[in-house]
Structure 1
Amino acid sequence: MVEVSSHNKIVVLDPGLEGRSGHHYALYEAAQKRVGSDLGNVEIKFYARKNSAGEFDFFEDIFVAEHFDSKLYQFYQSRPTVGEAHRYTSQLAEEYYRAMLCEVVVNESIGERRVTFLYPAVKWEHLAAIGIAISELESFDKKNIEIKHKICLMYNPGIDFDGNLFSVEEFLGYRIAAKYLSIREDVFFYVSDYELSVQYKDVFQRKLKIHPCYLFDFSSISRRSMSFSSGGERKIGLYHGDAKREKGFLELPRALESILPQLSTEDRIYIQYTLNNSDLSLNNTADKIKHIAENDQRVVLVDEFLSGESLMCQISELSEYIFLYDSAHYENKSSGIAWLVGYFKCPSTTIGSSWISRELKRLGVPLRVAPSVASISLTENLHQSFIKKEDYELRSIMYDDFWFGVGILAERN
């Protein structure tokens, strides 16, 4: 039994919510499943990017305001210059502030209220903008409104797994951006995984709390039975999510060429992706995959968005998952699919070692590490991952209820 806390309204400020895919939509979808049930009468509102009305489904219990002009991932592929960072941060801060002010004014007219602002997938430039916006809000008389800010940090602050500094720019960006916010009593920080909880100690001079994974409604799994794989046939997951180079999408034809000869006629390989850009290589690869699937019934292809619930069902039925992710790119980067695979402890193969292989081991997943796509062998023994006491604690945190984990729900009876 979960009791709703005294918070009256949750406001998610997310410039990254602009389409029906990715982890931003996953949070939106997961929120919808909780509104009207465990969240009771708590109102929830999302501020998304402008011009996104036709890009995703609207849920009647959640209001979405198209608000942000700024792109959350403006500098995803490259570091900004000092001038670019200043301009971006200033504009984003103004957009955050206008959203906050709107909520303060609206809730002030209603009477005494408690408002929680939630910020998913924050990097240092967003952190700096949030700090400016909150400081500007100080000049406004908030009267009887109690405000809390919950900030979710998902990206590496420039420190590797061994504790070495590999990006001075990233590290200083976080240190400077966090200086003001870290001393405020109304601001609460969370990180998305174990390694970040260790790495951010050098930024905040204290260990930050890990928030439960918000990409999937794991609580729904306990409320219904999942149909796990049975029988002699193998069901192998090879790709799920947005089509991206770093996730190994371009390697799919080569992977199929390597894996299919190892399978029987009853075995199946599952591939699901969304592709919404004009990248020529990605589109050419998609055509190749479709051609292979049309000529081989063992390849089950879904080239459209899957809901979180449908994705959970498919992963639960797999006998093995193969991660084609680029190990260099994911050396210090997390993956939502890894957390989902980890929940079911689905035996897995990774190409090289990275955050993904380390996290799967922590979550108790039987694992093999292949040196390359061409060398993937389904007959090679899997190495059992032995879970330590602290890893059991990690599993309990990662797969707990997100809304409870960040203090939006009260203690459970």
Structure 2
Amino acid sequence: MSVNQTAQQRLIILDPGLRELGGHHPATVLAIADAFTNNEQVSIELLCHQDCPTAFTENLNGKVKVTHHFATDFYQYFYQLPSNQALQQYCNRLALEYISAIKLCLSGINKKNKKNQKIMFWCHTLNWQHAKALALALDVLKQNHEAEYVAEIAIIVGLMYSPLDSIKSIKRKMHYELAFRHLAKHDSVKFFAVDYELQKQYSSLLNKYVDIQPCLLVGESQKNNHNINQQINVYHLGVITADNVKDRSDNNQVTIILYTGDAKLNKGFSELPNITGILLANTSNYQFVIQYSITNDSTILSETDIKLKSLASEHSNLTVINQFLEHHELIELFKAGDAILFNYDPEVYQYQSSGVLWLAAYHQLDILNMTKNWISREAERLNLTHFYCNSIIKLNKTLVNIRPKSLKVTKVVNPKEPVGEKNNTYSDKLFVALSEWFNNIVD
């Protein structure tokens, strides 16, 4: 159903995970803000963590109202579970924060103006602990005087964490099933899976059809307007920051992104100096780009950072961008690329998705993958040109197969496993413009 053009839309992002310039949280919020920059019918509000850098929130589009609200650590028990008592206390504490956040946003509503305003809360990232906390919060809100107004809102829940792990733990699956089934009891909640595999898993877990949401990192870009032969921008040589980007067109040179995103060991960051050094020693007509941001004091990450900068100072065809990128800068990086390397841990990413892969698919980059995991399966589903290189030697030999975008025939992204209703394919849903998708899900 299309948006009622006479009603003002309030899009309220609840993001307790937005605490620092790391992970997908800041990139997602920036993409959402960019998508609605010129939409006068939609006002955007953000409730983030209290520790979220003020410099980041002040840099958001002027129409985004920001409140530093949440105090709970989103990832406190993400990788290992505490005692049942500690876990219950964590969920109860977080539920109280969700309650106060929703009440804060509903506080200005009254019977006179509620018909002229549509309210959509967006929890773009929930693990099972947060799903449980949000369900508890909605239980409480329905029992008090806010119940009438809660019935008037909708809550978008993004499903990006798999109920499965590398060992297919029954306990993990049970936690996800109990939490999300509890949340699904609330009619105001709308679920959207971020990828095909999660769509199948959550549709089974919830015993209801779960649709696909668009890749949030692509944002407002229209795939039909994407010109694969447009002049590309290549980052300036050497160790630079994003502010020093300069334009250069060279359609005969291949640009390969060796890394982008947070510096993480499970994404192969510490192996980059060795891989990059060998590639630089054996290739010439290639431009290599490495972009990363370091969000902790790990000695290994710091040492890797030093090695990469040293390599960049010695090789004119290596660019190192050692800082967080704004959304538009990230898009420019992928427009500049012809191929991208993935060296993600095969176990950690066996059932974990990656927005980087979707950005690469949207911009028609060839995929070089050194491990077999979700990346491989998703590249196959999206009919991408992808190469499995399980060693640096094989990777080095494979580079000759990478051609500049300008010399390629545009490849139609046509997945082998179509999903959804009628003729809508998986890729159609992944790459639809964000505002168009939003308009269609607002009642």
**Do the aligned residues in 1 keep the contact of 2:121 with 2:153 (CA within 8 Å)?**
yes
Distance 1:174 1:149 in 2: 18
> Which residue, 247, 252, 256 being the options, matches 1:236?
256
* Structure 2 match to 1:118: 122
Matches within 5 A, 1:365-404: 365-373=384-392, 375-379=394-398, 387-388=415-416, 390=418, 393-404=425-436
- Tell me which residue corresponds to 1:66: 68
1:125 and 1:177 in contact (8 A); partners too: yes
The residue type paired with residue 345 of structure 2 is D
Deviation of 1:380 (Å): 6.7
Structure 2 residue matching 1:190: 3-state secondary structure:
strand
**What does residue 227 of structure 1 align with?**
231
Shift of 1:156: 0.6
Q: CA–CA distance in 1 between the matches of 2:137 and 2:293? A: 34
Paired with 2:435 and 2:86, the residues of 1 have a C-alpha distance of: 35
Change (3 A) 1:379 1:105: closer
CA RMSD of aligned residues (A): 2.6
TM-score using structure 1 length: 0.90
CA distance in 1, matches of 2:111, 2:174: 41
In the aligned structure 2, how far is the partner of 1:234 from the partner of 1:381?
10
**2:22–2:295: 8 Å Cα contact kept in structure 1?**
no
- TM alignment of 1:164-243, pairs within 5 A: 166-219=168-221, 226-228=230-232, 231-243=251-263
Partners of 1:376 and 1:4 in 2: CA distance: 52
Deviations 1:36-64 (A, max 9, x none): 42x32322111100032435124311011
Q: Output the amino acid matched with 2:99.
A: Y
Q: Secondary structure at the match of 2:418?
A: helix
Task: Provide Cα deviations, 1:36-94, integer angstroms capped at 9, x if missing partner.
Answer: 42x32322111100032435124311011001111111123323332222111011100
Q: Contact (CA 8 Å) 2:34, 2:220: kept in 1 or not?
A: no
Question: Secondary structure of the residue that 2:350 maps to in structure 1?
Answer: coil
**Which runs of structure 2 are paired with 1:79-94 in the superposition (5 Å)?**
79-94=81-96
- Quick one: distance in 2 between partners of 1:76 and 1:290? 32
- Per-residue CA deviation, residues 274-333 of structure 1 (Å, 9 max, x unaligned), is 112101101111011111111111111111122222222221222221112122221111
CA distance in 2, matches of 1:292, 1:255: 11
Q: TM-score, normalization: structure 2?
A: 0.84
Structure 2 gaps, min length 5: 233-248, 403-410
Matches within 5 A, 1:5-404: 6=7, 8-37=9-38, 39-56=39-56, 57-108=59-110, 111-112=113-114, 113-142=117-146, 143=148, 146-158=152-164, 166-219=168-221, 226-228=230-232, 231-264=251-284, 266-373=285-392, 375-379=394-398, 387-388=415-416, 390=418, 393-404=425-436
> Alignment partner of 2:347: what SS?
coil
Residue 406 of structure 2 corresponds to: none
Q: 1:117 deviation in Å?
A: 1.1
User: Structure 1, unaligned stretches of length 5 or more?
Assistant: none
Contact 2:16 2:73 in 1 (8 A): yes
- Give the secondary structure class of the aligned counterpart of 1:136: helix
The 3 A distance-change label for structure 1 pair 402 and 80 is: farther
Aligned length: 404
Q: Is the CA contact 1:367–1:382 (under 8 Å) kept in the aligned structure 2?
A: no
